[in-house]
Amino acid sequence: MLNADEKMLIQHAWEKVLGHQEDWGAEALERMFIVYPQTKVYFPHFDLHHDSEQIRHHGKKVLAALENAVHHMDNLSAALSKLSDLHAYNLRVDPVNFKLLSHCFQVVMAVHLGAEYSPQVHVAFDKFLVAVSTVLAEKYR
Ligand code: HEG
């Protein structure tokens, strides 16, 4: 799991996200829908056009969940338990898709943080997103 240095890097990087949750969340989702169009099957009820209110609203929710995870890195299973139920029992999102969204979010971070998104921050974030995705998929079987 994440060591103390990595947790610090994630908390520090997250400070840069504050104030941009809706924009950056929507950007990550839009990238996912364009780069991996198979992910759109889970959102038949959404307007998926650029700047769609639904994408913005959903992006804000996804980043709020990630922010909650940043605040509970030592206890992700408990912190994300309800969301894990939702994804496993109601939405039934194939777990491969978590990697796709995680990758798109990493690109968004890199674009906005530039040089500050160093390889050390990148690997810490990668581990964090894998940990979150694991929890969201852990109730599938
Ligand atoms: Mg999921 C709903 C978070 C990956 C498809 N997702 C939600 C909600 C949150 C969330 C917070 C709203 C829950 C609520 O309203 O109570 N999602 C979340 C995270 C991640 C993730 C943190 C990964 C890091 N989701 C994900 C992926 C897909 C997906 C990869 C599909 C490609 N999520 C999905 C759908 C909904 C949610 C279809 C319901 C959307 C709606 O109808 O409003």
- Which CATH number do you get for residue 63? 1.10.490.10
Q: Is the pLDDT of residue 72 over 80?
A: yes
Ligand 1 close to Cβ of residue 98 (< 6 A): yes
Residue 97 alpha carbon, nearest atom of ligand 1: 30
Contact predicate 106/122, CB 8 Å: yes
Q: 79 CA distance to ligand 1 centroid (A)?
A: 15
Instruction: Specify the pLDDT at position 140.
Output: 82
| Domain count within the chain | 1
How sure is the predictor about 46, in pLDDT bands with cuts at 50, 70 and 90?
A: very high
Instruction: Specify the pLDDT at position 1.
Output: 80
Over the stretch 16-34, which tens digit does the pLDDT of each residue have?
999 999 999 999 999 999 9
Whole-prediction pTM:
0.97
Instruction: Specify the pLDDT at position 133.
Output: 97
Residue nearest to atom 12 of ligand 1 (CA): 61
Over the stretch 109-122, which tens digit does the pLDDT of each residue have?
999 999 999 999 99
Q: Which domain holds residue 116?
A: 4-140
Give how far Cα 36 sits from Cα of 15, 16, 30, 77, 82, Å: 28, 26, 10, 28, 26
Contact predicate 70/80, CB 8 Å: no
